[in-house]
Structure 1
Amino acid sequence: MAEQNRQTVRDLRRASRATLLRHLYFDGPLSRQELGQRSGLSGGSISNVVGELLADGLVEECGSVESDGGRPRILLRVAPEAGHLVGVDVGETKVRVALFDLALTELAGFDHPLADRGHDADHVAELILAGLAEVLEAAGVPESAVLGVGVGVPGVVEQGGAADGSGVVVHGPTVGWSAVPLGRLLRAGTALPLHVDNGAKTLGQAEMWFGAGRGARHAVVALFGSGVGACVIADGARFRGATSSAGEWGHTKVHVGGRLCRCGSRGCLEAYIGAEALVERWGRRAPDGEQAGLAALLAGARQGDLPAIDLLNETAEYLGAAIADLINLFNPERIVIGGWAGLLLGPYLLPAVRRAATSYALSYPREQTEITLSTLGPDAVTTGAATLPLSQFLGSGGALPEHSKAARQAS
């Protein structure tokens, strides 16, 4: 019974640390008084827990504000240098690895195109591990200071049950992955904690935390790149479905028996509006890759090229109709369009997309839904991937992974 009570006390203390860390991270800097007002914890608890977080180096003082008739109130924030995070985007055309501090300021980045060996799984794992070593060396950061590595991938992620991420398996038919043991491949080259999720879901978390989705409880964040996906946010939480495959919006059908999709089916939304499909449908050579091809398509439309205008008009209608389906199915407050292709084409397409969504959606829920563009830029999947270990860190009350604990004890 005594052991059970001690465990309960530890759980309560961890929960209190997590609560204060989250408030300081998302709402800070804050004074102790403001922490009490926002968290509902007692003054004594605030004093004790803040003292612990300061002693652990997870929180730091960062100035003061005047109070009404008393001493100035000291402001607190999560210390940016208290830990580091790695985000990885396994994209359609490249692997991007970036190192961040806790404030998600990028300290170093590594990009490698996938043109030579495509999405060969062993090659992708090699690039991730090489990128990890490169960004740590470039920033002069030891592995012991890294809280974890987050990886965003194209496809459905099966977590596998292992706490360290080594059991992760990825099913990505559009890149030729069938039950790829990505966790095992990465674990062979690093002991750092691994967190893997679908790229659209990592984008969604980044947008909800820091971008155009912030403040909404019900939203959809759409990833519009070479492929198409979505992250559905229901009452503030990412909706995953029974096997974590919810959000494969790009493989909903817009034309029965239509164009062949990379997934092997026909008539998928991705087969009509994905960047690869758009460049192919335009029929103009794009020797410098999809991004250059899409930029040329957009430039053509702006210069009055009728085939380009017609194709982008049709794209806006397909996208607007597909967004109307999201509105009718999920009744979101906000739909955010992101991804490199979404950001490139969004300013041109958005007015027509909104009109099409209005035409196809039920009128009442459409009136309640804002359709907007991402504010985080084309590398938001990388940032979102870094939020995976960050979320673990905040939710655990600042618990350090074993390799970091060992390094601190040794020093």
Structure 2
Amino acid sequence: MASIQRTSPANDQRENGRQHVFDAIRQAGRIARIDIARETQVSPATVTAITSELLSAGLIEEITPEGDRTGAKRGRPRVALKVRGAAHLIAGIKISDRSATVILVDFEGQTVGEYDHELPGPVMSAEEIVDLVMRALAGACAAAGRHVREISGVGLGLAGLIDATRNFVHWSPSLDQRNVELGRMLSDAMPVPFYMDNDANLVAKAEQLFGEARNVSDFIVITIEQGVGMGIVIDGKIYRGERGCGAEFGHTKVQLDGALCRCGQRGCLEAYVGDYALLREANIRGSAQPEDDLSALYARAKAGDAMARSIFDRAGRMFAMGLANVINIFDPSLVILSGEQMTFDFLYGSDVLDRVKSSVVQVDAPLPEIRVHKWGDLMWAKGAAACAMEGVSELTIRNLGADAA
């Protein structure tokens, strides 16, 4: 993706101002100019000039709230601004162990289309993933009656250790090799800008823009499915670490020389809590038939099966220890537990939360709020779309500044 050369610090300042105002509009949903100035600490005159540019570029639009439209007796109705949904079509893709889930959204985040594409297998080569993504994208567009050429940006969510600044994959359970320039390969194959990040980071972005964490500046999302992920948001920004490998909650160590994790190391939290780990434990203990359905194993635990109950009890104890450590380190205002495994309560039952509370440093202040948000692959894909939406916004505003220079 070609970069735009900035010509001076003044241009940087104007671009930052445009981005700041645009972000405020997206965050609020609908907001008047005077309120933008108050929220951003930008002068009303500058807000008026910036919003005029954004309106001319078609990124935002004016609306008159119903109350003002019907109740105003004199003077000009109070006009609000919102992101213009028709400005761009965005695609988000989540690759899981079974399928690639695609969502198409408008620039406001409203769903335009949904699509699932079956995977040829849980582990693929980089070339196979590129082919899979392109076919899934084409299938989603065809199902929605749109064309790939209409898309302004594509986001991809992938489990593993990913440097989002370089679109580089250090390791992913979906790939058969390490250290892959997957972002470059996909960018070469696509006619539009491409963005990629760890899937848990993208869930945090989705929660921030569309979910439980709107208007929350500091929060943590923990995802539990095949693996265990974490997204950290500090002062409104996702924290990724120096190498793009920060927030790997699933690979924190909870047992010296413990169970083998799919990352290749031993003792990771994921090796005791992830879907595959629970099923592996059941099979090691010698079930009458191989276990391959977590729902069936959970039903057996609920029915009183001692072996099944012991598996889930240990997972709950391990998770409580890990979650307490996260709270002790970051002291967030909000923790969101997300993902398919939230269908099962063994990770957030009262006994687990009691263990967390007893292990958190005690002070005379409330503990962080812990919320459970149950959803499937579509929310992961929407997080990928949110990542692309943010990238397209920045690119569009940068180009707007270049045109004005």
Q: TM class by shorter-chain length?
A: 0.7 to 0.9
Q: Say whether residues 1:88 and 2:93 are aligned partners.
A: yes
Deviation at 1:274, TM superposition (A): 0.3
SS of corresponding position for 1:232: strand
Q: Which residue of 1 aligns with 2:232?
A: 232
Query: Structure 1: how far apart are the matches of 2:75 and 2:13?
Result: 32
Per-residue deviation, 1:227: 0.8
| Matched residue, 2:303 | 303
Alpha-carbon distance change, 365 to 134 in structure 1, aligned in 2, over 3 angstroms: farther
Structure 2 CA distance for partners of 1:80 and 1:400, relative to 1, 3 Å: farther
Distance verdict in 2 for CA 1:269–1:348, change over 3 Å:
closer
Does structure 2 retain, via aligned residues, the 8 Å contact 1:14–1:396? no
Deviations 1:57-109 (A, max 9, x none): 21122333436963211222111111011111122332222211112222222
Match in the other structure for 1:369: 368
Q: Which amino acid aligns with 1:99?
A: L
Task: Compute the displacement of 1:200 (Å).
Answer: 1.3
Tell me, yes or no, if the aligned pair for 2:164 and 2:198 is still in contact at 8 Å.
no
Q: Deviations over 1:151-208 (max 9, x none)?
A: 11122223575xxx5xx34422675331122123323421211111111111122123
Q: How far apart are the structure 1 equivalents of 2:366 and 2:328?
A: 12
Cα distance in structure 2, aligned partners of 1:208 and 1:188: 30
Deviations 1:293-331 (A, max 9, x none): 122122223333333333222221111111011112222
Find the aligned partners of 2:10 and 2:248 in 1 and give their Cα distance. 42
Distance 2:73 2:258 in 1: 68
Q: Aligned runs of 1:185-334 on 2, under 5 Å?
A: 185-283=185-283, 293-334=293-334
Question: Is the contact between residue 174 and residue 262 of structure 1 (CA under 8 Å) also seen in structure 2?
Answer: no
**Superposition TM-score, scaled by structure 2 size:** 0.86
- SS of residue matched to 2:204: helix
Does residue 152 of the first structure (1) align with residue 157 of the second (2)?
A: yes
Checking the alignment, whether the CA contact within 8 Å between 1:160 and 1:169 is kept in structure 2 is no
Take 2:247 and 2:351, find their aligned partners in 1: how far apart are those partners?
A: 24
The alpha-carbon deviation at position 374 of structure 1 amounts to 2.4
Residues 62 and 76 of structure 1 are in contact (CA less than 8 Å); yes or no, is this contact kept in structure 2? Answer: yes
Residues 1:137 and 1:400: Cα distance change in structure 2 (over 3 Å): farther
On the 8 A contact 1:98/1:110 being kept in 2, the answer is yes
Query: Would the aligned equivalents of 2:200 and 2:230 in 1 still touch at CA under 8 Å?
Result: yes
> 1:408 aligns to what?
none
Deviates more, 1:240-249 or 1:111-120: 111-120
**Superposition RMSD in Å:** 3.0
The residue that corresponds to 1:358 in the other structure is 357
Provide the C-alpha distance between the structure 2 equivalents of 1:115 and 1:301, rounded to a whole number of angstroms: 32
Aligned partner letter, 1:359:
S
Q: TM-score, normalised by structure 1?
A: 0.84
Cα distance in structure 1, aligned partners of 2:170 and 2:6: 41
Q: In 1, Cα distance between the equivalents of 2:147 and 2:8?
A: 33
Does the CA contact (< 8 Å) of 1:273 and 1:318 recur in 2? yes
Task: Point out where structure 1 has 5 or more consecutive residues left out of the alignment.
Answer: 406-411
2:80 maps to 75
Q: Relative to 1, partners in 2 of residues 1:68 and 1:311: Cα closer, same or farther, differing over 3 Å?
A: farther
- Using the TM superposition, give the Cα deviation of residue 253 of structure 1 relative to its aligned residue in structure 2, in angstroms: 1.5
Call closer, same or farther: CA 1:21–1:145 in 2, change over 3 Å.
Answer: farther
Secondary structure of the equivalent of 2:37? helix
Distance 1:346 1:104, change over 3 A: farther
Alpha-carbon separation, structure 2, partners of 1:386 and 1:5: 27
Q: Is the 8 A contact 2:24 2:39 kept in 1?
A: yes
Cα distance in structure 1, aligned partners of 2:197 and 2:365: 30
Structure 1, 101-110 or 121-130: larger mean CA deviation:
101-110
Instruction: Provide the rounded CA distance (Å) in 1 between the counterparts of 2:73 and 2:352.
Output: 51
Counterpart amino acid of residue 18 in structure 1: Q
Q: For the residues of structure 1 that align with 2:88 and 2:170, how far apart are their CA atoms? A: 28
Q: Does 1:21 align with 2:28?
A: no
Name the CA distance, whole Å, in 1 between partners of 2:377 and 2:112: 17
Matched, 1:55 2:56: yes
2:119 is matched with 114
- Cα–Cα, structure 1 residues 117 and 370, in superposed 2: closer, same or farther, change >3 Å? closer
Whole-Å separation in 2 of the counterparts to 1:365 and 1:99: 46
2 CA distance for matches of 1:221 and 1:29? 26
Matches within 5 A, 1:120-131: 120-131=125-136
Change in Cα spacing, 1:122 to 1:86, as seen in structure 2 (3 Å) is: same
**CA separation of 1:285/1:249 partners in 2, compared to 1, >3 Å: closer, same or farther?**
farther
Task: Give CA deviations for 1:225-246 in whole Å, capped at 9, x if unaligned.
Answer: 1011211223332221120101
